[in-house]
Amino acid sequence: MKMENMPSVSTGTVKKVEPGKKTKAAKATARKVTKEEVGKDAVCPVTGDKFKVTAETGSASYKGKIYYFCCPACDKPFLENPEKYLPKKQTVQAKIYVCPMGDYRGDKPGKCPKCGMDLIEKK
């Protein structure tokens, strides 16, 4: 069988991400405002100013969401580091419930399985 007439087949490889390794960060992409967006109320992620979107308003998409800028000076810093201008999610700490006798810790209120006393929330 001659190999020169065979179609070339590419075998793709899948890269596995090892635990603890970071993947490439999503990039913010500049975009133009559409006609449907003109007149929409917006808040600039850089300054926090409220304004109406116009045909000249700068905008960017980042992680599936569209952001609008109140002035041309705001888009560049956002495009360079969008995470700096997005609200930070606050982590909710789980409540811990302990036995007053000190023998048990749990994540739900109730009775201590060892002594039967009511668990109290640790502050």
74 with 95, same domain? Answer: no
Domain that includes residue 58, residue range? 29-85
For residue 7, the model assigns a pLDDT of 45
**pLDDT averaged over every residue in the chain:** 81
The neighbour count for residue 30, using CB atoms within 10 Å, is 13
Same domain, 77 and 95: no
Residue 104 in domain: yes
Q: Label residue 15 by pLDDT band (50, 70, 90).
A: very low
Number of domains, the chain? 2
Q: Distance between CA atoms of 119 and 88, rounded to whole angstroms?
A: 33
Q: What pLDDT was estimated at residue 68? A: 95
pTM, two decimal places? 0.54
Tell whether the model's pLDDT for residue 54 goes beyond 80.
yes
